[in-house]
Structure 1
């Protein structure tokens, strides 16, 4: 670790250490919720539905994210069962969290008689925002990095010096894959918000499908650069396989629903 590396501890409350990772994740979640509630009002939906989704979805998504990671590292956790609950030691998979949150959303929509497509359209940009901000939590923890690189390469990217120094990990400079994913998702968020606000351009469900096209595409390429991937088979990264599947499914649904646009459920945003 570089002597100039940032301290992952934000502050200490009488022996209780608050990590920057948690602070950053909480901030991203708060901004995302506020953005979703504002969009819910614009779509004439009760914003309380967003709060209920968060109250149920966040803890269940956390469990899903942990289970996803544990499943693909099962030999280790079978040998060390006490480590399963120790999420502070690392091991949270975002795809697991997204799958769990998606199930919660479908259940909530069924109970409240809300269109799942509408709820997904409202939630998707906020989720993407959370992913953008969340990667900076990984940055503070010096995790989710890529292969070894050189100081001159990092300087050639014209990124701030504090990022360069934070990428000095285990005696070598590393590819800032957290930054690549965060910036890639930021570009996607801007594009989705611009397209969402264009009248008569996107139909209901297509904001979500746009997210489901963009994020897996970014993740597929960034995942190939990371050194901490989960593998389903030797040389086959779980997140790349899932990203490819989601990308293909999203494009297929997008095209299929456009062809069926005269059906009653195919409403404009």
Structure 2
């Protein structure tokens, strides 16, 4: 980390030997907000409040394990020499795609066991997930990670960024692209877009709110990931870029397939109508 005056301390609070990191606080805040918003929307769609809390109890630990596993696997050249750091998630190093894939696996099992439409459940939580991702990137900011290539102070000033962001992007004497900020803004814009469209009649069949999230997020992630320097290359692209391409094309194709072959699928807004008093 840089020691320039004004660089933020990643540790929020220290009690004896216990250190509470801003990274964890920010991630926890994002999760809590996502759950509360999902519960509110879920009630409108006929989903019990307990479903979301029960799902979180299972999804949270598995998504963290999957996220860390994904990160460690693709950074094994480093962690094979530093085995004692594998579990130190509070220092950063959680892969979003690993987390999402882990949570998705839990969701499919959870919905099947509780006889819930997985498409509907995905539609309800999708906007809150992308909001949580946007908030969570500020945890990377506090750790001075997930940044882009070296740049200049003049370039950062040309973006009219607050001084604290410029200072935090000054690491070991070098200024870096604030890719964490680019993705945070992209995610929050996606959240605003989805919740603005989700309640429009005749627009989304069940599952299509989720597809919108996947398309929006993967499109932006592909380009932002290309600016970063801390991710694994696979051929001419980074691993996360390949995944973004797969998810982007796959979501569009699956959306089109379901519309063509299953035109009678329920509308998103129809869910919950029969349960209203």
The separation in 2 between residues aligned to 1:166 and 1:31, in whole angstroms, is 26
The aligned residue for residue 255 of structure 1 is 256
The separation in 2 between residues aligned to 1:16 and 1:34, in whole angstroms, is 29
For the 8 Å contact 1:24–1:134, the answer to whether it is kept is yes
| Stretches of structure 1 lacking an aligned partner (at least 5 in a row) | none
Task: Find the partner of 2:86 among 80, 84, 87.
Answer: 84
Deviations 1:68-89 (A, max 9, x none): 1122223443444333223344
The separation in 2 between residues aligned to 1:15 and 1:69, in whole angstroms, is 27
Cα RMSD (Å): 1.4
Give TM-score scaled by structure 2 length: 0.92
Deviations 1:34-83 (A, max 9, x none): 00000110101101111111110010000000111122223443444333
The separation in 2 between residues aligned to 1:97 and 1:55, in whole angstroms, is 14
For the 8 Å contact 2:120–2:207, the answer to whether it is kept is yes
For the 8 Å contact 1:144–1:228, the answer to whether it is kept is yes
The separation in 1 between residues aligned to 2:145 and 2:91, in whole angstroms, is 12
> Following superposition of structure 1 onto structure 2, how do residues 140-155 of structure 1 map, counting pairs within 5 Å?
140-155=142-157
The separation in 1 between residues aligned to 2:167 and 2:88, in whole angstroms, is 28
Deviations 1:201-244 (A, max 9, x none): 111111100001000111100000011012234x4310000000
For these two proteins, the number of residue pairs brought into alignment is: 267
The aligned residue for residue 49 of structure 1 is 51
For the 8 Å contact 2:92–2:140, the answer to whether it is kept is no
For the 8 Å contact 2:147–2:180, the answer to whether it is kept is yes
The separation in 2 between residues aligned to 1:84 and 1:163, in whole angstroms, is 29
Give TM-score scaled by structure 1 length: 0.95
| Stretches of structure 2 lacking an aligned partner (at least 5 in a row) | 270-277
